[in-house]
Amino acid sequence: DSSILSIKGLKTYYKTKEGYVKAVDDVSFQVPKGSVVGIAGESGSGKSTIVQSIFKVLPRNAEIKEGSIEFEGKDILKIDEKIFNKEIRWKKISWIPQVSMDVLDPVYKIKDQLLETIFAHEDISKAEAMEIIVNQLRAVNLPLDVLDRYPYELSGGQKQRVVIATALLLNPELVIADEPTTALDVIVQAQILNIIRKLKEERNFSMIFVTHDLALLAGISDYIVILYAGKVVEMGKTEEIFKSPMHPYTQLLLKSIPDVRKRKERLHGIPGEPPDLINPPQGCRFYPRCPFAMDICKKEEPQLVNISPTHYVACHLRK
C-alpha cells in the first residue's frame, strides 16, 4: 500500500513494582507516504512511548507486548538491532527527541557530533562529510561558527536547530519529531516550525509530529491521531478533526485552545485527571471525565469505527 509506516495493535507497557503501566495499549495508525501525521494528547497519554517504540530507543523497563510496526513493508520489531542501527536508524528513520532529552553530548563539539552521525552510516571522506554538514547547517539557518562550539555554548533554539540538522543529515524517509518546539519561547517556536515546514517542502519526507498542543498541528499536519490514556480515541484528516471533531475528548481539547481574538478569556484545561494506567478504567478510559458518559461506557470499551473513509472515532455516542 502507500503507507511508509503502519502500526498495528501496538502494546508497549512499562514494568514497575506496582504492576504494568499500560502506556500504549492497542494502538494502530498509518503514515501515508509523503504526509505529516500529528499525534496529539495530554501529558502521559503515551506519545513518546509510541515514538520510542518506532525508533527502538525505549527505556529498559519497557516491553512491547503485542503488535507490529511495518516500515516499508517490514516489521521493524523483528529486525536485528545491529541491522536496524546500521541501515535504518538515522538513515531511513530519524528522530527529533523531546527537548528535555538533551541528546547532544556535552563533551563533543557540534562538528564532531555531526561527523560521527555521518561516519556511523556512510563510507565517505571527511571533506565530503563536511560538505553535507555545511549544507545542512545552512538549511536550518545556523551560522557555521557553531561547528567549533560545545552544546552549552548554544542557545536553546540553536541547540534544537542542531538536533534538527542531525535528524536530516542522511536524508531520511521518515522524520519523527517529538514536541520539537515545546520548552522554547513563542518566537523561537515559530522559527523552528517554519524551518521544519520549509525542509518538509523541499525534501518531501514523511513525518510524525507529536505535540500536546493540538493548535500547532493546524498549520503542519495532513492527518491527526488523538491519543487518550494509551488509546487512539479519534483520527482523521486535519480538517475533519478541526471542523467536525466527534469524540468528546477531542471537542474539549479544541475548546481549550485559546482564541487570540478573546485574549482576556482565561484558558481552562480539561477538568479532571487522566486515569491510572496500571489499573485503567474498564470500558471507556475517558468516562470518569466525560460530560456525556452513559452506563454502557463503564462496561464496554468503545471500538474505533469509520465515520468517513479517513475519519475514525471510538465513542459509544457515535455508533
Closest CA to 303 of 227, 234, 236, 242: 234
* Residue 317 interface partner, choices ligand SF4, ligand ATP, Mg ion, none, CB cut-off 5-8 Å depending on type: ligand SF4
Minimum distance, C-beta of residue 122 to ligand SF4, in the bound complex (Å): 49
Rule CB under 6 A: is residue 115 a binding residue for ligand ATP? no
- What letters, b where the CB count within 10 A reaches 16 and e where it falls short, cover 50-61? bbbbbbbebeee
* Residue 14 interface partner, choices ligand SF4, ligand ATP, Mg ion, none, CB cut-off 5-8 Å depending on type: ligand ATP
* Nearest-10 Cα torsion for 212, 213, 219, 222: 30
**Residue selected from 248, 252, 275, 277 as contacting ligand SF4 according to rule CB under 6 A:** 248
* Residue 297 interface partner, choices Mg ion, ligand SF4, ligand ATP, none, CB cut-off 5-8 Å depending on type: ligand SF4
For residue 52 the three cell numbers come to: 520510542
Rounded Cα gap, residues 261 and 110, in angstroms: 42
The pattern of x and - marking residues 185 through 224 that bind ligand SF4 according to CB under 6 A reads ----------------------------------------
* Residue 293 interface partner, choices Mg ion, ligand ATP, ligand SF4, none, CB cut-off 5-8 Å depending on type: ligand SF4
Question: How many residues of this chain interact with ligand ATP, rule: CB under 6 A?
Answer: 17
Q: What residue type is 57 in one-letter code?
A: V
**Residue selected from 21, 147, 184, 233 as contacting ligand ATP according to rule CB under 6 A:** 21
- Interhelix angle 186-203/156-168, rounded to 10 degrees, is 10
Residue 68: CA count within 13 A, CB half-sphere? 10
Strands (E), 182-265: 206-211, 223-228, 231-237
- What part of residues 228-247 is at the interface with ligand SF4 (CB under 6 A)? 247
- Which residues are paired to 37 by β-bridges? 208, 223
Rounded Cα gap, residues 231 and 274, in angstroms: 12
Q: Closer to ligand ATP by CB, 8 or 212: give it.
A: 212
**Residue selected from 32, 34, 44, 281 as contacting ligand ATP according to rule CB under 6 A:** 44
Q: Closer to ligand ATP by CB, 15 or 126: give it.
A: 15
Q: What residue type is 144 in one-letter code?
A: L
**Residue selected from 132, 226, 241, 290 as contacting ligand SF4 according to rule CB under 6 A:** 290
Rounded Cα gap, residues 65 and 86, in angstroms: 25
Where on the phi/psi map is residue 19: left (φ > 0), alpha (ψ -120 to 50), or beta? left
**Residue selected from 277, 313, 314, 315 as contacting ligand ATP according to rule CB under 6 A:** 277
For residue 107 the three cell numbers come to: 563533551
Q: Which stretches of the chain bind ligand ATP, using CB under 6 A?
A: 14, 16, 21, 23, 41, 43-49, 59, 61, 98, 212, 277
Q: Which stretches of the chain bind ligand SF4, using CB under 6 A?
A: 247-248, 284, 286-287, 290, 292-294, 297, 302, 315-317
